[in-house]
Structure 1
Amino acid sequence: MPDLAGLRPGDPATVGAYGLSGRLGEGGQGIVYLATAPDGTKVALKLLRADLAGDAEASERFVREVAMARRVAPFCTAQVVETGLYGGRPYIVSEYIDGPTLADVVRRQGPRTGTSLHRLAIGTITALVAIHQAGIVHRDFKPSNVLLASDGPRVIDFGIARALDLSSTLTVAVIGTPSYMAPEQLTQSNPGPRSDMFAWACTLLYAASGQPPFGQDSVPAVVNRIMHTEADTGSIADPALRALVTECLAKDPAGRPSASDALMRLLGHAPAPAPRTASSGQRLPGVRGSGLLQEGSAAAGPHTPTTGSHMAAGPHTTAGPQEGAGPYAGAGPYAGAGSQAAHPHVGAGPYAAAGPHAPGRQARPGPHTWPTRRRRTGWVVTAVVSGALTLVAATALVAVRLSEGSGGGGTTPTSTAAQVATSAPATTPTTAPATRPAIRSIALPGTSVRVEERAGDPMELVSYTLDSGKRLYVRQHATGAFTADSRYFEYALDPRTGRALATDADYTTDGYATVSIVDHATGGRRAIRLSPRPVFPTTPRWSPDGKYGLVTLFKGAENNTVEYGYGIVDVTYEKGRVFEIKEQGAGKWRFFWDAGGQAVGTWVGDRMTFYDLNGRLVRTLRDVGAPVWVEGDDVSPTGSRFLAHCTTDATTLCARSTSGGGADAVTIPFAAVRLIGWWDDEHLAVWRIKDKGYEAVVIDLKGQVSRVLATAAEKAEFDKMGFRFARVPA
């Protein structure tokens, strides 16, 4: 266990909901405390210096900016749990890792060699893959930000660098530690992911030699060496690892490999690539997404043998889409019609569901073996909500930069009765995805709709429903083709993990509605019992970090339904919880995730209400416009804005700050009949009337159209369709 010092006079006894028991460390940013969560879990709580985040507005901007830290996949990283403000000072709560830093171990025990060094290399690069695929650049990767836990190395302090750079009042201070900074960090205000590869190589050389490769004397001397001299890599005995580290130390970021490519080489899956452009970033075929991260995480753990010059880490994984930033873009609910087991009608037209499925039309498929997954002990899975809409962060240190320029109650149903593993339909492929053309036009089966896709699009269509939900079509993993799947009402894919959250077409024999966690590549699923009839789930949506699923609950039968509340699905433990919200109208506009994944929100009249993951009301936003139906992301990818109608006449859209302030609302002069959601932080994807049908277009925040995404020739057909887009991994 890391050294623990007692609390000092002036230290708070509690911060938010956390009780402090001692000091784990103190640095330039603030103090790190050992704390205890309300459920008894140990966590690490960092209370930042007030001057780092600036005034109250800057502090709020800080916690919004670091929201993406929760989107980092839990592979070889210390997960961020919560962040908030205490007396105007930002605090950050993260998973407590019981282990020393790499810097401490090297100082006390000497350099790492052989298998130990290989495992360190694989674990730390796996963490960088997860961090980069969440759209984050660490910018302060160094030995003291690597913890050596019993199950392998863990990287900490990711996600705060950009936030401090944007919000700090220290005009001469920037993010990074000179001995581990890439050349471009010394001259650019916004370095890219390849700067982390330079820092990773420096950290490996420190582990292998016991000394920073460019020294640690005066800042000017260190900077001069980084800019103009080559590091000595002779302390790394293995030729393959030494060659990789040497490439990562290239002065030009274009000459460095990406984290994904480096990990594949360490795992023995790819030959050494030729230098590529810094913007390349494409992944090599074979191991992708969560499969690559799982393999890297396993190889970094204890008792993993080596093979030749690379770590052996199991079979060459092909299943699973790429990891990426941003949550799944969910769509609105569409119930069906028909049999006694059907979920009832909950609305009609383009802004609501339009009738039930007929879930009794097929028997449940036979058994299927659910894929195994490695569970790491000690993960923090409790998320505690504080007052802001987006409260997530991690940490880094501050150093000097040289600049070229100037400045309700819940219930937990027993899940075992419904955990029935099922096989995929015969049409479900199990091979790796085929390469798709750069520009493609897709005619959706059974419709007049045509979708236009381009390589590099941040979103793509993954499923759709016809005839008010009577038929569901799901995009196949291997071919990209859409095929019918009668097992589910709705299908929400999270491409980062390769999992889908689906509302099942059947009830259990004892009358419970279920949702399934689906392996998108194989079609295998695990059904989780959720709510007793007549309460049923709609609108499945993934949390930003992919750990939880959200469904909106309705109660009733056929054409007589009312809002009931929401359900939370814990993917790790495969359990569901149901929360009844008694406020009239809560859930009519469906529930959605806040950007940090710590609360869920919904419109109630002209205000937005937010509830934590235990059913408690935690925040209300007033004077934020009028409700708008968003099929996908209500909140922008970076968590800074949400969408609303500016007024009740619904003639214009407003992009408003998630902090609740109305002064910075952006008015978008565009009359959209239906919103797909945020395309990126500066563009929306919307449907508008076109001739006798509709077309989906991308617009900027001034309402200017930049391209057409889809066309629907038949209005009556379109009005009974539902569309689910997912955010494509970066």
Structure 2
Amino acid sequence: MPLRDPRHLGDYTLEHALSEGPAGEVYAGRGPGGERVAIKLFSTQLESPQNFLERAERLKRVEAFHSAMILDAGIEGARPYVVSEFVDGVSLRQAVIENGPLGGAALHRLAIATMTALAAIHQAGAVHGALRPDNVLLGPDGPRVINTGVAAAVESGAAIATQQVASPAFLAPEQFAGALFPPSADLFSWGATVAFAATGQSPFHSNSLSAAMNRILREEPDLSGVADPPRQIVAACLAKDPDRRPSASEALMRLVGHSMLTDLPPIIEERPPPRRSRAPALVAAAVVLAVVSAGGGHAVARVTRPSSPLGNAAAPTVSAAPSMSVRPAAPDPAPPPKPTKEVKAAGIGLTLHENPADPVILRAYRVGKDTYIREGDAFVKSKIPNAEPGFSPDGTWLALYAEPTLTIVNLKTKAQFALTPQVSGTLTLPTWSPDSKRLLLNITDGGDPELAMGFALVDPVTRTTTTVNTQDKGERIYAWLPDSSGVLIDYKSETGWGLKARDLSGRELWTRHWVGQLWGRRSFSPSNTSFLTLCPSGGSFCLWDPRSWGRQATVAVYGSKGGTLLSWYDDSHLVITEPRDKDKAVHQIIAIDLRGRTQRVMGELLGKDDRDDLIYTYTRR
């Protein structure tokens, strides 16, 4: 349903309405950096806007494991709105109505994914407050819980409470007694939601509001259509007494313990939990499972699929969407060391703040037609105008491509030579293989946007060029596989963007349709244990395990920072730029951790010099 007139909420542009109801309207929109977002504008008139804004700010710190991240919030008049990560999918309610109930592995995966989201929410000290089939979206990367904590944030600033009248069939008994948002109620709502997914109706279904409330308060749920797994866990979560329900972490352990898709030992017994403190109890048999907390070590449930090689394969494969597994996660990493020196750049007002222990260094930058190459602590302008630089990982080679000539310099001997590759199309983005033996250039159609038509490979020893025509039509960027045996390119699938691997002859190896759009030429982390894409929903960056292609984390670089991603710093940090704010005198280059938190200022650039044609080239030391 298109909007009658274009509108804005704060820094966000509303493109079209997604849904409308008594609680408010939901819009698809764009953020200040062009990222896709979902914006919910509530009908509620706030009496205490500050209460709402404070609660909403805390929600931005909740980790997005199988949930849509809360990116921003604001007030329009007296009406609150919340901005979240855009999920391109249908609601669980709509899917069940249109396609019928879920069963078997599909139901079990839904149960694990949504409980993983709840466990992360509760470990962060928040509650969801309104879990129901409308607030679970089936996106291209699996089920995603949306509107985390939003109901509680709105109620905190509202003049009167309204939670009791919203979707009563999915509310817990204690909520009818005035306890609007206890964590235990999320478990009850989860049980009712999973039962709906399995049967097509609430386990307390009735034809009237009063009868549904009476069944929730006094009668047992109808779980005759829910199979094991996850029936026993659903039944435990639907206990009338909130103290007899498991915590989210305990329920997740029991769900994963049943899964034939994991390598965990099963839970031996499933006795109803006794009355106890609500503090997370994370030890069961030999399994320890905790979902992201603000503190140290933890483990997270994540999507995985059977491992497959990153290099050559016997034949192309089209992979299925991920199943479930569990991985251990390390404590918060140590931040980058403090800078010990300043380096002034030439040609622009750029000051770098460096430490000799930094694993990355700015080796070059380009402003318009001028390319500056680092020599020691100085930057020298190249004699070749309009040159795109590319440094080999081993420090031997520098490639400078200025159409139509490719110049390759041996940085150790200072010898150089020039080639003029003969290709049908435009060459761009010179990138050396991880083993430093070949140079890759993209062949594009030269349009706007440029589309990749193939790639050229240059051997600096034999000084020969090989061209490979693929007609991939991806957005012009190829990235090397970490073993130098092939390349990656993104492609447009029916559900969004995915990845495709090819060997160096152009033969397709495999596809990963659910992972989103390729970020850039160095998408693999330094240790090759993570891979970075623009999330399928847009607006954030997704980290994937390249062995299993399960999601490891979501980093809201655009959503929370508004910046441009430049490089990996190390396996645990990224280097980004601040947004180009014309009114700000100095812009920063910063290192952030994988939760989006600023850890170190890497450089400062005068605002007047922060141009659209300024391109940075970072390399490993």
TM-score category (smaller protein): 0.5 to 0.7
Residue of structure 2 in register with 1:369 after alignment: 527
Residue of structure 2 in register with 1:38 after alignment: 32
CA 1:36 to 1:413, structure 2 compared with 1: closer, same or farther past 3 Å? Answer: closer
Q: Is the Cα–Cα contact under 8 Å of residues 288 and 321 in structure 1 kept in the other structure?
A: no
Q: Please give the alpha-carbon distance, in whole angstroms, between the structure 1 residues aligned to 2:354 and 2:10.
A: 45
1:78 and 2:237 aligned: no
Residue of structure 1 in register with 2:282 after alignment: 283
| Residue aligned with 1:296, SS | strand
Residue of structure 1 in register with 2:233 after alignment: 244
Alignment of 1:109-148 (within 5 A): 109-148=99-138
1:99 is aligned, of 65, 86, 89, to 89
Matched letter for residue 288 of structure 2: G
How far 1:54 sits from its partner (Å)? 2.2
Q: Please give the alpha-carbon distance, in whole angstroms, between the structure 2 residues aligned to 1:7 and 1:196.
A: 34
Alignment of 1:451-530 (within 5 A): 516-518=570-572
CA 1:15 to 1:61, structure 2 compared with 1: closer, same or farther past 3 Å? Answer: same
1:6 and 2:2 aligned: yes
Q: Please give the alpha-carbon distance, in whole angstroms, between the structure 2 residues aligned to 1:113 and 1:411.
A: 42
Matched letter for residue 233 of structure 2: L
How far 1:329 sits from its partner (Å)? 12
| Residue aligned with 1:313, SS | strand
Q: Please give the alpha-carbon distance, in whole angstroms, between the structure 1 residues aligned to 2:82 and 2:30.
A: 13
Q: Please give the alpha-carbon distance, in whole angstroms, between the structure 2 residues aligned to 1:148 and 1:243.
A: 24
Q: Is the Cα–Cα contact under 8 Å of residues 540 and 551 in structure 1 kept in the other structure?
A: yes
How far 1:152 sits from its partner (Å)? 0.7
How far 1:377 sits from its partner (Å)? 2.3
How far 1:157 sits from its partner (Å)? 1.1
1:253 and 2:242 aligned: yes
2:327 is aligned, of 308, 317, 320, to 317
CA 1:251 to 1:173, structure 2 compared with 1: closer, same or farther past 3 Å? Answer: closer
1:153 and 2:137 aligned: no
Q: Is the Cα–Cα contact under 8 Å of residues 43 and 93 in structure 1 kept in the other structure?
A: yes
CA 1:164 to 1:334, structure 2 compared with 1: closer, same or farther past 3 Å? Answer: same
Q: Is the Cα–Cα contact under 8 Å of residues 576 and 591 in structure 2 kept in the other structure?
A: no
| Residue aligned with 2:187, SS | helix
Matched letter for residue 279 of structure 1: R
* C-alpha RMSD of matched pairs (Å): 4.3
CA 1:196 to 1:13, structure 2 compared with 1: closer, same or farther past 3 Å? Answer: same
1:303 and 2:320 aligned: yes
Q: Is the Cα–Cα contact under 8 Å of residues 71 and 134 in structure 1 kept in the other structure?
A: yes
2:159 is aligned, of 149, 159, 169, to 169
1:68 and 2:58 aligned: yes
How far 1:262 sits from its partner (Å)? 1.9
How far 1:216 sits from its partner (Å)? 4.3
What's the CA shift string for 1:99-149, capped at 9, x where partnerless? 111111111111111122112111111111221122111111000111111
1:266 and 2:250 aligned: no
Q: Is the Cα–Cα contact under 8 Å of residues 119 and 299 in structure 1 kept in the other structure?
A: no
| Residue aligned with 1:32, SS | strand
What's the CA shift string for 1:513-565, capped at 9, x where partnerless? xx5454xxxxxxx785999xxx9x999876xx812424346xxxxxxxxxxxx
Q: Please give the alpha-carbon distance, in whole angstroms, between the structure 1 residues aligned to 2:358 and 2:18.
A: 59
1:547 and 2:596 aligned: yes
Q: Please give the alpha-carbon distance, in whole angstroms, between the structure 1 residues aligned to 2:119 and 2:540.
A: 22
Matched letter for residue 301 of structure 2: E
Q: Please give the alpha-carbon distance, in whole angstroms, between the structure 2 residues aligned to 1:361 and 1:65.
A: 37
Residue of structure 2 in register with 1:625 after alignment: none
Residue of structure 2 in register with 1:726 after alignment: none
Q: Please give the alpha-carbon distance, in whole angstroms, between the structure 2 residues aligned to 1:147 and 1:102.
A: 6
CA 1:292 to 1:266, structure 2 compared with 1: closer, same or farther past 3 Å? Answer: farther
What's the CA shift string for 1:599-619, capped at 9, x where partnerless? xxxxxxxxxxxxxxxxxxxxx
Matched letter for residue 48 of structure 1: F
Gaps of 5+ in 1: 306-311, 323-327, 336-341, 345-355, 383-391, 393-409, 420-514, 519-525, 554-566, 568-577, 583-730
CA 1:212 to 1:169, structure 2 compared with 1: closer, same or farther past 3 Å? Answer: same
How far 1:292 sits from its partner (Å)? 7.6
How far 1:248 sits from its partner (Å)? 0.9
1:202 and 2:192 aligned: yes
CA 1:278 to 1:548, structure 2 compared with 1: closer, same or farther past 3 Å? Answer: same
Matched letter for residue 54 of structure 1: L
Q: Please give the alpha-carbon distance, in whole angstroms, between the structure 1 residues aligned to 2:132 and 2:290.
A: 26
| Residue aligned with 1:44, SS | strand
Q: Is the Cα–Cα contact under 8 Å of residues 80 and 154 in structure 2 kept in the other structure?
A: no
Q: Please give the alpha-carbon distance, in whole angstroms, between the structure 2 residues aligned to 1:90 and 1:124.
A: 26
Residue of structure 1 in register with 2:377 after alignment: none
Residue of structure 2 in register with 1:380 after alignment: 539
What's the CA shift string for 1:2-23, capped at 9, x where partnerless? xxx1224xx6522223332221
Matched letter for residue 208 of structure 1: A
Alignment of 1:626-665 (within 5 A): none
How far 1:175 sits from its partner (Å)? 7.4
Residue of structure 2 in register with 1:505 after alignment: none
CA 1:172 to 1:158, structure 2 compared with 1: closer, same or farther past 3 Å? Answer: closer
What's the CA shift string for 1:271-322, capped at 9, x where partnerless? 155404251422124344459875334479x9368xxxxxx734x5333249
Q: Is the Cα–Cα contact under 8 Å of residues 75 and 297 in structure 1 kept in the other structure?
A: no
Matched letter for residue 93 of structure 1: V
Provide the TM-score with structure 2 as the length reference.
0.53
Provide the TM-score with structure 1 as the length reference.
0.46
Q: Is the Cα–Cα contact under 8 Å of residues 70 and 84 in structure 2 kept in the other structure?
A: yes
Q: Is the Cα–Cα contact under 8 Å of residues 73 and 83 in structure 2 kept in the other structure?
A: yes
Comparing both chains, which one has the higher relative contact order based on Cα–Cα distances under 8 Å and sequence gaps of 6 or more? Answer: 1
| Residue aligned with 2:74, SS | strand
Q: Please give the alpha-carbon distance, in whole angstroms, between the structure 1 residues aligned to 2:29 and 2:576.
A: 34
Matched letter for residue 246 of structure 1: A
1:28 is aligned, of 22, 33, 57, to 22
Give percent identity, aligned residues only: 34
Matched letter for residue 30 of structure 2: T
Alignment of 1:295-444 (within 5 A): 295-298=301-304, 303=320, 313-314=324-325, 317-321=327-331, 342-343=340-341, 369-372=527-530, 376-381=535-540, 415=567
What's the CA shift string for 1:471-503, capped at 9, x where partnerless? xxxxxxxxxxxxxxxxxxxxxxxxxxxxxxxxx
Q: Please give the alpha-carbon distance, in whole angstroms, between the structure 2 residues aligned to 1:47 and 1:528.
A: 33
Q: Please give the alpha-carbon distance, in whole angstroms, between the structure 1 residues aligned to 2:179 and 2:39.
A: 28
Q: Is the Cα–Cα contact under 8 Å of residues 92 and 134 in structure 2 kept in the other structure?
A: yes
